Amino acid sequence: MIYVKPQPEPSDFDKKVRVKGIAHLKAKGIALNKALPSGTEVTPLWRESLTDLHVAYGGICAYLGMFFERVAGSSVDYFIAKSVSAKDIYEWSNYRLACSTLNSRKREYNTVLDPFYLAPDLFRLQLSTGHIYPNPSLSPHAMRLVELTIETLSLDDALCRDTRARCYQEYVKYKLDNDYFRSKYPFIWLEAYRQGLLLT
């Protein structure tokens, strides 16, 4: 994971999502300043913003730090879960672009660091294997927060490891353009840069 710069909401987001969403909640008698009651179904107006979200964040999954095509499963992760805050269900600032796999892993857990407020140099990557791990120089508290994020999202499982390792291997094998590589795999690029392993 790396820091993700929050992008401004689209000009039509308020009309398409927020206004209709809040009206829907009020019509159902849901208090905006409280958690969404368990089992309550709400209209999925956030789907209206999926294309905008994918474009705004360059198709980069906020948790993997890698590009994914929309056809592979583009989804909205509510960083503040619906079960915690009803008023944030239809808020652009609460949306994180995530591939379907990572979104399903994140769910409603609050043990994941927010990419929008991520300090630099928390995560390290072994490029040859794709192994992700906390920066060894972190304080014990920061170390545990990073470990919990990795554990909750299963960022170091075989699937994630293999994908990261393959992306770097293809970059080297095919001598991919550095700007292209950075635009598609910013976390891997950053680690290759830090380790002095970018192609020149």
Question: Which CATH number is 13-106's, of 3.40.1350, 1.10.30, 1.10.357, 3.30.450?
Answer: 1.10.30
pLDDT at 83: 85
Q: What is the b/e burial string over 154-186, where b = at least 16 CB atoms within 10 angstroms of the residue's CB?
A: ebeeeebbeebbebbeebeeeebeeeebbebbb
Q: Is residue 89 scored above 90 in pLDDT?
A: yes
30-80 confidence digits (pLDDT tens): 999 888 888 898 999 999 999 999 999 999 999 999 999 998 888 899 999
- pLDDT of 167 above 90: yes
Contact 191, 124 (CB under 8 A): yes
Q: What is the pLDDT of residue 197?
A: 98
Which of the four pLDDT bands, split at 50, 70 and 90, describes residue 129?
Answer: very high
Amino acid found at 136: P
State residue 62's pLDDT score: 98
Identity of the amino acid at 55: V
Residue 169 pLDDT greater than 90, yes or no? yes
What confidence tier does 3 reach under pLDDT thresholds 50, 70, 90? Answer: very high
Alpha carbons 167 and 18: distance in angstroms, whole number: 38
Tell me what pLDDT residue 73 has. 80
Phi, psi of 85 (to 5 degrees): -150, 115
What is the pLDDT at residue 37? 87
pLDDT of residue 195: 98
DSSP code, position 66: S
Neighbours of 48 (CB within 10 A): 17
What ranges in 37-185 are assigned the alpha helix state H? 50-56, 100-106, 140-153, 158-173, 178-184
**Average pLDDT across the chain, whole number:** 95
The pLDDT assigned to 52 comes to 96
- CATH 1.10.30 domain extents, the chain: 13-106
Q: What percent of the chain has pLDDT over 70?
A: 100
Q: Write the pLDDT tens digit of every residue in 5-31.
A: 999 999 999 999 999 999 999 999 999
